[in-house]
Amino acid sequence: MKLKRFLSVMAVFVLSACAVGSQPAAKFDVVMEEFEFTPSSFTVSAGQPVVITFQNEGAVEHDFVVEKIDVSSVSTEGVGMGEHHMAGEHSEFDLHISTSAGGTSVLKFTANTPGSYRILCSVPGHEEAGMVGELIVVEN
């Protein structure tokens, strides 16, 4: 009987320890249109998975770019055609997703380093028109 009680208590400790190490994803829904992101500011914890769903309600393709940021586990779904980038490759950006006009896309990533990071739409003229924002990564 004591062995059963001991094993039950140990199982609770083990399961509790597993739950502490995992964080639920921070989820955001973002509307893109000429020439803004709504919302335009996001705060996440370092090491926390992030899922951003983009709905482009604009008349042209828009994208979401963070030029320099330490990220891992990056994946995308429903990416636009990237008409504004002739090469179709976005290696100059650490974080990038494009969304076709009327389309939806999803960006998943984990930000590793706390700091304040500027976001922008890299379609020519959109940054200058005010399509910018901020990604704030706080200490976990």
- Cβ-proximal residues to 11 (8 Å cutoff; 6+ apart), any chain: none
Predicted structure pTM score: 0.79
pLDDT tens string 85-131: 434 445 689 999 999 999 999 999 999 999 999 999 999 999 999 99
In a domain, 16, yes or no: no
4: in domain: no
Count of structural domains within the chain: 1
Q: Which domain holds residue 34?
A: 23-138
66 part of a folded domain:
yes
Tens-place pLDDT, residues 28-60: 999 999 999 999 999 999 999 999 999 999 999
* CATH number reported for the structural domain that contains residue 111 in this entry: 2.60.40.420
Cα–Cα distances in Å, from 56 out to 82, 101, 107, 131, 139? 13, 6, 14, 13, 31
User: Would residue 83 count as lying in a domain?
Assistant: yes
Please, are residues 68 and 86 in contact by the beta-carbon 8 Å criterion?
no
Q: How many CB atoms are closer than 10 A to CB 137?
A: 24
* pLDDT of amino acid 55: 98
As beta bridge partners, residue 134 has: 41, 118
